[in-house]
Structure 1
């Protein structure tokens, strides 16, 4: 990774919109790309896809936004015509290669970002650019929450990992009526999570503490599990309640062995989720702009882009060695401030 000077982006197409980027979040996908564990990215592509900014230029056919508008960017275009798109699975558009921001299309770790008017949304004056930068990760969370059908509204719900997605899942599932227990083994990140969860949700250092402290039962079965680490299926599978749902959202390669008879006999569901589905980005936009999900409270660090190595290190990613280690800081969502040249905060 390196900072490079590139030609300035201009609104050359009729529906083109160029955004002067203000804030962009570091995503787990970015960490995986840097560490080599997510090899889908095109070599040389500019990373970054969780972005907000101010419209700089518009093509002649653009009517919905204008220069000076504060916007959030939907970074995941889709063709709208392939079978996946026509069956409302735009996150798996077969034509997205070359369009996916920060993966196969130059992303938002940059001064400017080029998109089209369909994929920018004007922010109300009362919503900060920092808060709106969490719209895309919340959109991905809502895609997963749509798939979770709890067997009861009193479901014992567990979220493993108190990073940005873990906390956003806590907020989204609470809006669905559940009261999840969030489990985080890193003391610093656990401390950050306290006080940033919705009413009824709590954070714990272990599954044993969560079972006893949250549900009053040291043998509490697991009705709903969201695993943000992508590594716990084999360990937690025997603890799932009949009719339970296990969701994995991490992007780390790992193979599991589970008992297929139990899958049917205990009516279990093992599912995965990634990216935004039809309508989930606008749904996330509404939840943040209405204040129902206080996204800005999940921002732990704001770092100038020039200090990108520090930003990645805060999340346990060493760029020099291309390695990932558990974070030892009270970190959650780390944003790059593209407009700043000062020291990190």
Structure 2
């Protein structure tokens, strides 16, 4: 094959085993196919779990990556919604629309999901090109950088979670644990729901970054104790709404939920917990999980990005070429050569991998 017949893709071969690989260049083969030259892909916490082996869901041999934007390179003959040269954001979670889960607005649990999920069971976007169908693309307005639009998918996951929250009051004590991309996006989105959240992050570098990108109305603290004293004015302030992005706090904070309180868990680390069922009912508590996009959440997130209501580009801390993917993962505490996963030691948040199709004017 000539260089024009191949492209580069970052392949997952097993835990801690990644490789940039030359693969056949993708083309539109079906009538509704769209091939996108990838510009940017965000590194997701899911990717960190897949690479480290702590979230063993990806199919060996798959191309990772799913939070992406790019430029339309080819279209099938029946595609009318986008044309070659359009700047687009990709919805990476196709769904059939006809199974029971889809028909009851639970598209993130589509019964035909296996084999279609980008970066997990279907070749994703840490590559020069990606192939999808026209219904899973949205044209990005000219005034929105593709770097910003790449955060549409993680924001869509946040919209799904926020929809599930029914706080007892707009004055509810609301705490987001973790100042990674999802934690900061939750903080912004909760303000649109009328709440006044605080962020708790015990990693100094992450905390420092958060204080620079959150609005003044959302304070960030190194501990819950500090948040209680400094923000709520009560060292024993009960918790009305908790968003846990770490997966590790349900058991320790369960007893501290106020009557009618809600605990939302969105982390993907395996933790067994023990809860008192009588306590759950007697105090009218809610324990909720959330993952991926639900019906309409991707378009809602896209509106929040393109309207500027959530300034997502603030969260982009680094842009790294795909050839330097190990450096990109290391910024988030994932040392691939050393086979270790630790907390981020730098002021990082959303790290984007650049595949090369960036438009003129979008400097890294």
TM-score by length of 2: 0.93
Q: Secondary structure at the match of 2:212?
A: coil
2:330 aligns to what? 313
Q: Structure 2 residue aligned with 1:69, among 86, 104, 110?
A: 86
Aligned-residue CA RMSD in angstroms? 1.3
1:234 aligns to what? 251
Do structure 1's residue 143 and structure 2's residue 152 form an aligned pair?
no
Q: Structure 2 residue aligned with 1:106, among 118, 123, 135?
A: 123
Shift of 1:116: 0.5
**Count of aligned positions:** 343
1:89 aligns to what? 106
Runs of 5+ unmatched residues, structure 2: 1-17
Shift of 1:92: 0.5
Shift of 1:324: 1.2
CA–CA separation in structure 1 for the residues paired with 2:278 and 2:339: 40
Shift of 1:4: 0.3
CA–CA separation in structure 1 for the residues paired with 2:145 and 2:327: 24
Contact 1:305–1:340 under 8 Å retained in 2? no
Contact 2:178–2:246 under 8 Å retained in 1? yes
Shift of 1:199: 4.5
Contact 1:170–1:198 under 8 Å retained in 2? no
CA–CA separation in structure 2 for the residues paired with 1:340 and 1:229: 33
Q: Structure 2 residue aligned with 1:280, among 273, 279, 297?
A: 297
1:323 aligns to what? 340
Contact 2:70–2:357 under 8 Å retained in 1? no
Q: Structure 1 residue aligned with 2:60, among 19, 37, 43?
A: 43
CA–CA separation in structure 2 for the residues paired with 1:142 and 1:226: 13
Q: Structure 1 residue aligned with 2:271, among 249, 254, 269?
A: 254
Runs of 5+ unmatched residues, structure 1: none
Shift of 1:195: 3.0
Flag as ranges the 4+ runs of structure 1 deviating above 3 A: none
2:349 aligns to what? 332
2:96 aligns to what? 79
Do structure 1's residue 192 and structure 2's residue 204 form an aligned pair?
no
CA–CA separation in structure 2 for the residues paired with 1:6 and 1:190: 40
Contact 1:174–1:198 under 8 Å retained in 2? no
Q: Secondary structure at the match of 1:118?
A: helix
| Larger mean Cα displacement after TM superposition, 321-330 or 162-171 | 321-330
Contact 2:181–2:315 under 8 Å retained in 1? yes
CA–CA separation in structure 1 for the residues paired with 2:322 and 2:86: 22
Contact 1:139–1:283 under 8 Å retained in 2? yes
Shift of 1:213: 1.3
CA–CA separation in structure 2 for the residues paired with 1:13 and 1:24: 24
CA–CA separation in structure 1 for the residues paired with 2:116 and 2:216: 39
| Larger mean Cα displacement after TM superposition, 318-327 or 272-281 | 318-327
CA–CA separation in structure 1 for the residues paired with 2:131 and 2:271: 35
CA–CA separation in structure 1 for the residues paired with 2:231 and 2:133: 46
Q: CA-to-partner distance for each residue in 1:43-93, whole Å, 9 max, x for gaps?
A: 110000000000000000000100000000000000111110000000101
TM-score by length of 1: 0.98
CA–CA separation in structure 2 for the residues paired with 1:105 and 1:24: 15
Contact 1:13–1:59 under 8 Å retained in 2? yes
